[in-house]
A and B are shown apart, each in its own frame.
Chain A
Amino acid sequence: MAGESGKIDPMYQFKIEPLAQLQLGGYDVSFTNSSLFMVLVLGALWVFMAGGMKREMVPGRWQMAVEGATGFINNMLTANVGPEGKKYVPLVFSLFMFILMANFMGMMPFGIVPGVHPFTITSHLTVTAVLALFSFGTVLVVGFWKHGLHFFSLFVPHGTPWWLLWLIPVIELFSFMIRPFSLALRLFVAMTAGHIMMKVLAGFVINGLNAEAAWVPLIVSFPAFLLMIGITLLELLVCAIQAYVFALLTSLYINDAVNLH
């Protein structure tokens, strides 16, 4: 966390460090701290889901939580896409749970162990871009599979006046093509900005405590610490909201592909 000069670098938390070198077909696919946290997310998700597999008629707390998560995604797709939306529950559930767990895993206080620091997978553009491509690719495949070339009618909304036919499809096409970028950038920016802010505030607290003047901890560190608590809670909220937004937008886009407006 601390740079050589004793300064706190808020960007250091995003640095990817290889843990085990690995080459595959000329590409560097080393197992990094990012990969480690992906595997941690996978393990946490397995544990979470396994706890909900008791399949009791009267569910316990854990089963209730798992059923709440699956029912949430199920309802989202049924409400936005209709009965056909059931087919896309596995994809949206995977995206939602992966993003949610990754966001929360990045907020875990692993930093209390010296030398360890949590890593937020979803604060990396490479990851969010791939997730957005899963979402966008599904929309494209489903749209062309179900409707063929008729899928292009998505760009001409109902009730478009004939004299606007030269403009509306261009705008619609542009808004359609921008979707994967907005999906990827929204998640990446939200997680990155939130984590930078937390590190900067934490830096205020620590640097204030280390200051020589006695008034600095009281004036700087203490208010910054209070703010830090609030910002941390807010960041936890953002973690859930971003996962929700990603899943919701994906289900809305799938609705476009399935029902063509």
Chain B
Amino acid sequence: MPQISQILETYASQFFWLLIVFGLIYFTVSRVMLPKVEATMDARNRKIADDLAAAEHARAEANNLGDSGAADLTAARTAAQAKSAAAKVKAATDADARLAKADAEISAKIAAADADLAKATANALAGIEAVAAEAAADIVAKVSGAKVTSAQATKAVKAVMSHG
């Protein structure tokens, strides 16, 4: 086994070169290069953590905005409902008032028309009496040859009409 049989001849060389090489590894690789690699990793980890925190912050903000937006929406809806209810009430009263006015006008017109109609009927009735009296006098004269005064004729017509 050369490891043991050669140990006395080679230990000095082994120690010497191992110390040189391991010293170089320790002082160049582990003391100079390693911290730079670790600094890069730390910077990356910090950046990731920062970005995550920023994203979390933005999310919280967005949630707040959404909440206040919903509140605004509710308020606007309530206001709009109140306005539309008021408008409905006003429109109803207006319509009632107008309806009442129109009713009154129409009633007045109907009353006037009724009066006209009554007058016209009275006139017509009066005309009919005169015509009937005249016709009655003519008929009497033709049938009997007797002269009937218009007063008598009118009297007779009135008596018939009131019975009749």
Say whether B143 faces chain A, with CB atoms less than 8 Å apart: no
Question: Considering the complex, which residues of chain A in the window 23-58 have a beta carbon less than 8 Å from any beta carbon of chain B?
Answer: 24, 27-32, 34-35, 38-39, 41-42, 45-46, 49-50, 52-53, 55-57
Say whether A130 faces chain B, with CB atoms less than 8 Å apart: yes
A-B contact count (CB 8 A): 133
Say whether B101 faces chain A, with CB atoms less than 8 Å apart: no
B contacts with A: majority SS: helix
A contacts with B: majority SS: helix
Say whether B29 faces chain A, with CB atoms less than 8 Å apart: yes
Say whether B18 faces chain A, with CB atoms less than 8 Å apart: yes
Q: Contacts of B87 on A, CB cut-off 8 Å?
A: none
Say whether B77 faces chain A, with CB atoms less than 8 Å apart: no
B29 touches A45 (CB 8 A): yes
B37 touches A16 (CB 8 A): no
> Nearest CB to that of B7 among chain A residues?
A126
Q: Contacts of B15 on A, CB cut-off 8 Å?
A: 126, 130
A57-77: CB near B (< 8 Å → 1, else 0) gives 101000100110011001000
| A49 and B3 contact, Cβ closer than 8 Å, known pairs A34-B14, A126-B10 | no
Q: Could you list 22 A-B pairs, sorted by A, with CB under 8 Å? A: A14-B1, A15-B6, A16-B9, A16-B13, A18-B13, A22-B13, A28-B9, A31-B13, A32-B13, A35-B17, A45-B29, A50-B33, A59-B44, A70-B34, A89-B34, A91-B30, A93-B30, A97-B29, A124-B3, A126-B10, A126-B15, A127-B14
Known: A34-B14, A39-B17, A127-B14; 5 extra A-B contacts, CB below 8 A, are A14-B1, A22-B13, A31-B17, A94-B22, A94-B26
